[in-house]
Amino acid sequence: MLTTEDFETRWASAEQAPRGSGTVELICVRVEAGVHETPAGVRLTVEGGVEGDRWSRGKRPSVDAQVTLMNVRVARLVNRNGLPLDAPGDNFLVDLDLSDEALPVGTKLRLGEALLEVSPAPHTGCKTFRERFGLEALTWVNDHRDRRLRGMNCRVLEAGAVAVGDPVAVVER
């Protein structure tokens, strides 16, 4: 079992994700609780977020949590249980620095054809994250919110298709 210090040491010694532009590494459509699909591509809409994702079927879904992104390097680091890479349940695993410093609230990102805006709603680890990756991983990601290790929430500004391998680029800070 890794400690929070172990996670921090591994993070500090790992090659850091790029800033400003990166790539979509994995797409996750949350069909229902604990059931994920990982298609090669999806369509994002302003009204529904990721088509087919359970977000749009929520009672009163917040557009501030319409789409979630997580750094793929963090997902690999916390996944010591041999779970599939989609286990965190974020819509997009990206190779991009998601920190507050790199992508402040209001930053506009182009994912494939879609345009997203970084929302102010924090994306933190929860009970499910703890069950999948352990208390130490949960503590580590939540203790470094400025780095957005657990990921970040976005809203869709312009609809479009997104595929694995597509670029992720900062359009406006």
Report the CATH number at residue 50: 2.40.33.20
The confidence score (pLDDT) of residue 164 equals 98
The confidence score (pLDDT) of residue 1 equals 77
Report pLDDT digits (tens) over 13-52: 999 999 989 999 999 999 988 899 999 999 999 999 999 9
Q: Which helix (H) or strand (E) holds 121?
A: none
| Count of the separate structural domains present in the chain | 1
Show the domain range for 99.
4-172
Single pTM value for the model = 0.94
3-state class (DSSP) for residue 109: strand
The confidence score (pLDDT) of residue 87 equals 93
Question: Low-confidence residues of the chain, pLDDT below 70?
Answer: 60
How far is it, in rounded angstroms, from Cα 38 to Cα 42?
Answer: 9
Q: In this structure, what token pair is assigned to residue 141? A: 């990601």
Q: Please name which of 92, 89, 98 lies closest in space to residue 162, comparing C-alpha atoms.
A: 92
Q: In this structure, what token pair is assigned to residue 52? A: 């087919």
134 Cβ neighbours under 8 A, 6+ residues apart? 1, 2, 80, 81
Residues in the chain: 173
58 Cβ neighbours under 8 A, 6+ residues apart? none
Whether the CB-CB separation of 163 and 105 falls below 8 Å is answered with no
**Nearest-5° angle of CA 98, CA 81, CA 40?**
55
Instruction: Output the DSSP codes for 18-84.
Output: PSSEEEEEEE-EEEETTEEE--SEEEEETTTEETT-GGGGSSS--GGGSEEEEEHHHHHHH--S---
